[in-house]
Amino acid sequence: MGGLRRFDGLQSIASRTPGCVAAIGNFDGVHVGHQDVFSAAIGRSLDMGRPCMVVTFDVHPALHLRPGEAPGVIMTLKDRLTIIAGMGVNEALVLPFDRDLASRSPEDFSREVLVKGLGARQVVAGEGWRFGRDRSGDMDRLAELGRDLGFGVTKVPAAAYGGLPVSSTRIRGALDRGDVNLARNLLGRPHFVRGSVARGEGRGRELGYPTVNLECGDLLLPSRGVYAGGFSFEGHVGPAAVNIGRRPTFGSGPTTIEAHLSGMEENLYGKEITVFFLARLRDEHPFPDRETLKAQIGRDVERSKQSFSPSAARGIPL
């Protein structure tokens, strides 16, 4: 993570010299609006001669606040911090979002975490950030608390795209619809997932287009369908035709993600690869026979090659 110094929990920063500019939020996806927050925080840190620290959480707060409604994860914590480090942030504090943190009032959070814990001199967040028990604190309340407790507050306006605010919720909605182009514009990079290659049934190889089957954990995938995209493995980047679905031609099964990696012949079982999404090609549907399916896969692969360029991976931590 470059020069980023990571702290886990408030106890880990007890010996750190207090005083920082803190950019605070969940930052799932590190989208263009989040990037505006980091830019504002870095600018304030340079003006004030203070280190810039991102304050984020190990899991999405909704996992504790609304367990049955918790959204899918756009990006792992590790990737969040890697991208943030690349923007020039010096330090990161990762707070465990547990019942204790969720139960703190806005006043208690500001006093115990921001002041006593961090010794923050300036707090920077998006205008829609909410904090404290039941999300009862907003940026106006944070500014009031800052005046009482001795820190300044910078409220960063929401970024907009297509006349609407950029948000992680909007990105999740785009992915749920398979609109990976909109997600790319909101994120500032293609949506990507990492996964370990698992053994499949070998049907792609039988058809002349071997695929890797990925296990991606809880990462949010686009809706079922076929996508033009790319892949990265040990420094090699190339085009990929990606299928997310249930392989209806062979009878419905669980949803899987499998990708044909153009030009990659290596045995990848058990290895981690990165796959990213550039364009939706078509819906997934059954074909009358293997030859018809094989011909369509060939067209999908060619369209994926046409959609790909090495520069398409810019912004993805590879």
Return the CATH number at 193: 2.40.30.30
Question: Is the residue at 65 inside a domain?
Answer: yes
127 shares a domain with 37 = yes
What mean pLDDT do residues 127-155 have?
Answer: 96
Q: What is the DSSP letter of 74?
A: S
What is the number of structural domains in the chain?
2
Identify which of 85, 61, 118 has the alpha carbon closest to the alpha carbon of residue 3. 85
Bridge partners of residue 246, in order along the sequence: none
Residue 172 within a domain: no
Sheet holding 20-24, edge to edge: 5-8, 91-95, 52-57, 20-24, 120-126, 152-156
Q: Is residue 169 part of a domain?
A: no
Q: For 77-91, 115-129, 278-292, which range has the lowest pLDDT when averaged over its residues? A: 278-292
Q: How confident is residue 203, by pLDDT bands cut at 50, 70 and 90?
A: low
The answer to whether position 171 is within a domain reads no
- What does the angle CA 314 – CA 303 – CA 270 come to, to the nearest 5 degrees? 60
Determine the structural domain holding residue 203 and report its residue range. Answer: 180-313
Mean pLDDT of all residues belonging to the chain:
91
Looking at 127, 161, 195, the residue that finishes a domain is 161
What is the predicted pLDDT for the residue at 202? 61
- Segment 256-288, tens digit of pLDDT: 899 999 988 788 999 999 999 999 999 988 888
The percentage of residues in the chain with a pLDDT greater than 90, rounded to a whole number, is 73
Q: Does 152 share its domain with 296?
A: no
One domain for residues 143 and 291: no
Are 16 and 123 in the same domain?
Answer: yes
Please tell me whether residue 7 adopts helix, strand or coil conformation.
strand
pLDDT number for residue 2: 53
> Do 24 and 73 share a domain, yes or no?
yes
pLDDT of residue 64: 66
pLDDT of residue 45: 96
- Verify that 129 and 276 share a domain, yes or no: no
More confidently predicted of 250 and 115: 115
Q: What is the average per-residue pLDDT within 145-164? A: 97
User: What separation, in Å, do the N-terminal and C-terminal C-alpha atoms of the chain show?
Assistant: 12
CATH number of residue 40's parent domain: 3.40.50.620
Task: Answer with the residue of higher pLDDT: 250 or 150.
Answer: 150
Query: 135 with 207, same domain?
Result: no
